[in-house]
Amino acid sequence: MNGGVTGISDYKLRNDDFTWFPDLNIGGRRVGLFSLGGDACDTIVESGRAFVFTDVALGRLDDDVTENCNRAIAFTRATIDLMPR
């Protein structure tokens, strides 16, 4: 995987300064959900030996990431079947 990271669990350990939300299961696949701060919300999916990220940020100074997380989840849900396993 990227930079010696061996999956979502390892990615989460190496990035423990992110705000992590409970993992999701979309299409039978594990999806990590996190915020880097501000109004940004991201999903992460394993695809082969890589990760696919979906990032939604509107650049607002708002700590409520609910709307942006819902958008990131919706986009991931719409595209996950196109991501190689």
What pLDDT, in 10s, does the model give residues 3-50?
A: 788 899 999 999 999 999 999 999 999 999 999 988 999 999 999 999
d(CA 69, CA 36) in angstroms, rounded, equals 12
Under 8 Å between Cβ of 34 and 42: yes
Q: Say if residue 80's pLDDT is above 90.
A: yes
d(CA 59, CA 48) in angstroms, rounded, equals 31
H helices within 1-85, ranges in order? Answer: 8-14, 66-79
Range of the domain at 7: 2-82
Model-wide pTM > 0.75: yes
Higher model confidence: residue 45 or residue 59? 45
Return contacts of 49-53, CB within 8 angstroms, 24+ apart: 49/1, 50/1, 50/2, 51/1, 51/2, 51/5, 51/8, 51/11, 52/83
Residue 60 confidence (pLDDT): 84
The structural domain count of the chain equals 1
Q: Say if residue 51's pLDDT is above 80.
A: yes
